[in-house]
Amino acid sequence: MTTDVSVRSSIEAAAAPEHAFTVFTDGLDRWWNRDYHLLPGELKRIGVDPHEGGRLWEENDAGDVCVWGRVLTWEPPRTFAFLWLIGPDWKVPAPDATGSRVTVTFAPTDRGTRVDLVHDRLDAHGPGWEGVRDGVGGEGGWPGLLRRYAAEA
Amino acid sequence: MLDALGDPTRRSIFELLAVGPRSVAEIAADLPVSRPAVSQHLKVLKEARLVSSTAAGTRRVYSLDPQGLAAVRGYFDQFWNQALAAFAQAVEKPEEEP
């Protein structure tokens, strides 16, 4: 069995790569779906420390902060990669949590920027992602997705 | 494998099963889809190893396949597609006041 379990997603945006890179990283809090968070309560802020080895973190309305990722590559405006420590259960990662990897590249096009995202090493979250069954009733993750579907239907 | 989630109804079923195991009747009650159609969609999801089923007494209950990396992939595939759509909107709209 292959260990390269990955998903890919791409989108094109009408802006220069410099701007796209900035919005993806510094502007993470502007576009992140507020339904996705790990700490209890409401998501107050989510952010990225802008350097290699930096944290990806979130803060809730009680002022608690948790780290859910690490910057692996910080090469504006072309490449941003980070370690993703969150399982599909959206629980606060254990100190020894293994992570998958998200690599985002920004390439100039006629229209603006093509953004390619690869989330690989997903087998780090499986097999038997047993947490999902316990965690689905939590405040983050699945219920938020469901609400969105309900709203669209 | 992820083609199985390309259909909006199947995605809805997948999301519903993420909340907890359900029977065909329960799925059909929550979605605007007939029971036979639900069964057909479940068959596709099972073949893609996104969903598994177990017998519970006289009825059959469906859940996300807990062993299936396909389900993990399906989850993140949807997650990032939605996230990038929101990101692109943010890129193209003027900066909001903090």
Per-residue pLDDT at A138: 37
Residue B1: pLDDT above 50?
A: no
Question: Which positions in chain A touch B81 (Cβ < 8 Å)?
Answer: 9
Mean pLDDT taken over chain B:
85
Tens-digit pLDDT profile for residues B22-70: 999 999 999 999 999 999 999 999 988 888 899 988 889 998 876 666 7
- The answer to whether A30 contacts B90, with C-beta atoms less than 8 Å apart, is yes
Facing B84 at nearest CB: one of A11, A130, A143: A11
Give the DSSP per-residue string, A30-78. Answer: HHS-TT--SSSS-EEEEEE-SSTT-EEEEEETTS-EEEEEEEEEEETTT
Per-residue pLDDT at B98: 52
The verdict on residue A24 lying in a domain is: yes
How far apart, in whole angstroms, are the C-alpha atoms of residue B56 and residue B11?
24
Q: Is there a contact between A134 and B20 (Cβ–Cβ < 8 Å)?
A: no
The verdict on residue B39 lying in a domain is: yes
Per-residue pLDDT at A142: 40
Taking the CA of residue A52 and the nearest CA in chain B, the distance in Å comes to 22
Residue B75 sits in a domain whose CATH number is 1.10.10.10
The verdict on residue B98 lying in a domain is: no
Question: Which positions in chain B touch A119 (Cβ < 8 Å)?
Answer: 76, 80
Q: Which has more confidence, B20 or B88?
A: B88
- The number of residues making up chain B comes to 98
The verdict on residue A2 lying in a domain is: no
Count the domains in chain B: 1
Show the low-confidence residues of chain A (pLDDT under 70): 1-4, 88-89, 126-153
Count the domains in chain A: 1
ipTM for the predicted complex: 0.80
Q: Is there a contact between A101 and A8 (Cβ–Cβ < 8 Å)?
A: no
Question: Which positions in chain B touch A137 (Cβ < 8 Å)?
Answer: 19
Torsion, CA A128, CA B11, CA B19, CA A8, rounded to 10: 40
Task: List Cα–Cα distances, B35 to A69, B5, B6, B41, B63, in angstroms.
Answer: 42, 19, 20, 10, 16
Per-residue pLDDT at A98: 78
Residue A58 sits in a domain whose CATH number is 3.30.530.20
Q: Looking at the whole model, is its pTM more than 0.90?
A: no
The verdict on residue A23 lying in a domain is: yes
- The answer to whether B82 contacts A127, with C-beta atoms less than 8 Å apart, is no
Domain enclosing residue B55, as ranges: 2-91
With an 8 Å Cβ cutoff, the interface of chain A facing chain B consists of: 5-7, 9-15, 19-20, 23-24, 27, 30-33, 36, 88, 113, 115, 117, 119, 122-123, 125-130, 132-133, 136-137, 142-143, 145-146, 148-149, 153
